Chain A
């Protein structure tokens, strides 16, 4: 295991670039929705960028991803093309899912994005199946399954972790603990201090990490992915983070104490990571500004593409219910 290896300047910058893409994309989507230029059900990942990006650089394009409705950071970190993503949000025929799934069900197998579920906890049993297929075929792929702290209280979590451990599946369960299950505080729904401690119940490796610490998250992700790929079984990796924009877009977040929110915002992982990039001389201020401009241009182009695309043909309603050619 090369786990003692320090995060190189090159990888640090790669992570920051992914995280910045997530941050800028999220800002743009919120701006489009709040000004009525887009109608989409949207769950902002603001505050959870670093953990997704630090995991993302450890995955191969062929690895599988399962995520949830709050999953745009995971999808972008996995290589989701922006045009197909924005067009899907906008419900256009050119969207990744032809406008039939929307923001909560982004799917793009070409980048390994296999399932985005709108049901809390449902992704875990499916991730096992993807990993089982890889194990049987010996294709060397790893499945990353993302979910939140709330999902660790649903029955599917228990069934899936038990089975993954029993069959030693090449899967990483990444629990993004953002301290709130929808609008309920972590402590008001969960008695155990650390979700990763639940791994012991399944003889599984459990690790808790500060998901907002780029070095720690990168290392923990790398270890979990490498172990899964080497056939050493699954990991329950708990990444502690914070959700800045509430549960749903427009959620006033009155249930979050002001001091807690303020303290979390003061530790916003994005400026912290940026400072780290500069400190490590991975890039200069000017270079980071150029990267941001480049990303904004990509987002501009994707939004333009979505705006100029047509909505689906109404006849599309009858397609994709069954495979082509099947009697209906």
Chain B
């Protein structure tokens, strides 16, 4: 991937916009809600929705007040009444303001109503450390939502997946939390065909290898690809499993890969403790304990508040070098086995 888009490539921002554009064009029930998303306000702070209110009207691409509870609540209500709202929460830390609507209502209404009502909303949000946005604009909070039944949690790792997964979220009959990476929005990759959808709840083996499985999503997953290329020259074959959907977790794909490699490293940007990595590691050992050739390792960020100063922020973030070190550590016992 590079940062220069061509006719055959698109950026993450293009991918999000294309998915929204196609969804608005194909289904009159699709509706966008969020702060500053209209063209009058510049098409969103991150320009993802630029042009859409002009094309589809202010009634379908609706700029809202700074009212996260009201935004998610409006999306929930409209969804129960048959719409497919896409609500934008500008940054992931701001979902905390709307947790009641997301956790108590969006995620649970289908179950609590015995299936009489469904909440087909998509919540687009973005986050990530590395740009000096400190403790209230950088958190990866996916584990909170993965811990709640009824809401799907999706993190794309490529622009093509971003478009395909977002499209699937919008047309899914359940609430989806779609997490975008703040830092890499200009990063480009191959463009998918129009109407492209990537199924939810299914992981993707993006690189095959027989020695060790790296399992993850988002930025560290992309880092792992470069590391895997490098290690291949040493004869180490790394298999890379992109989860794509954090919840529901594709346990079958994880177990299939690790049953083959007998070694696993789980990577994510979110802090290590009580994170998605812990869940993945637990599922691996529950099913494959006696087949593992090494402990399942985690590479993640530190269990602290995201700091501002560059040197501290880098200290917080997971390090690509730690991914490589973890891969090598799982292989230390290779000779013995």
Contacts and interface: CB of A to CB of B under 8 A. Distances in A.
Nearest to A93: B114
A320 B174 CA distance: 10
Of A126, A130, A134, A156, most B-chain CB atoms within 10 Å: A126
A98 B250 CA distance: 29
* Main DSSP-derived SS at the A contact region: mixed
Contacts of A97: 112-114, 116
A129 interface: yes
A252 interface: no
Contact of A163 (B70, B80, B152): B70
A174 B301 CA distance: 48
A327 interface: yes
B22 interface: no
A154 to B, nearest CB: 9
Given A109-B117, A323-B174, A101 B79 contact: no
Interface stretch (A73-81, A116-124, A225-233): A116-124
B255 interface: no
A166 interface: yes
Contacts of B201: 326-328
A163 B78 CA distance: 14
A226 to B, nearest CB: 21
Given A107-B117, A320-B110, A64 B81 contact: yes
B135 interface: no
Interface string A304-328: 0000000000000001111110111
B306 to A, nearest CB: 26
Nearest to B109: A115
Contact of A322 (B65, B104, B174): B174
Given A125-B101, A126-B105, A320-B111, A159 B67 contact: yes
B248 A328 contact: yes
Contact of A323 (B67, B75, B173, B250): B173
B77 interface: yes
A326 B173 contact: yes
B74 interface: yes
Of A114, A133, A134, most B-chain CB atoms within 10 Å: A133
Interface string A243-286: 00000000000000000000000000000000000000000000
B327 interface: no
A95 interface: yes
A102 B232 CA distance: 57
B150 A321 contact: yes
Of B69, B115, B200, B248, most A-chain CB atoms within 10 Å: B69
B76 interface: yes
Contact of A133 (B64, B81, B174): B81
A175 interface: no
A198 to B, nearest CB: 16
A119 B100 contact: yes
Given A96-B114, A114-B117, A129 B80 contact: yes
A117 B105 contact: yes
A246 B85 CA distance: 39
Interface string A137-151: 100000100000000
A129 B118 contact: no
A131 B80 CA distance: 11
B73 A166 contact: no
A162 B174 CA distance: 28
B101 A166 contact: no
A160 interface: yes
Contacts of B114: 95-101, 107, 320
Nearest to A124: B73
A32 to B, nearest CB: 22
A204 interface: no
A129 B67 contact: no
Given A96-B114, A327-B201, A122 B78 contact: no
A288 B59 CA distance: 50
A133 B78 contact: yes
Of A127, A163, A326, most B-chain CB atoms within 10 Å: A163
B200 A327 contact: yes
A165 B152 CA distance: 32
B82 interface: yes
Interface string B10-42: 000000000000000000000100000000000
A320 B110 CA distance: 6
A252 B173 CA distance: 45
Interface string B180-197: 000000000000000000
Of A131, A136, A320, most B-chain CB atoms within 10 Å: A320
B78 A130 contact: yes
B26 to A, nearest CB: 17
Interface string B84-121: 01000000000000001100110001111111111000
A129 B113 contact: no
Given A327-B201, A327-B248, A107 B69 contact: no
Given A156-B100, A160-B69, 20 more contacts: A64-B81, A95-B114, A96-B113, A97-B114, A100-B112, A100-B113, A101-B112, A107-B116, A107-B117, A126-B76, A128-B77, A129-B77, A129-B79, A133-B83, A137-B82, A156-B69, A156-B70, A156-B73, A159-B73, A160-B73
Interface of A: 64, 66, 95-101, 105, 107-109, 114-115, 117-119, 122, 124-134, 136-137, 143, 155-156, 159-160, 162-163, 166-167, 319-324, 326-328
8 contacts: A98-B114, A109-B116, A115-B105, A125-B73, A126-B74, A132-B74, A156-B73, A163-B64
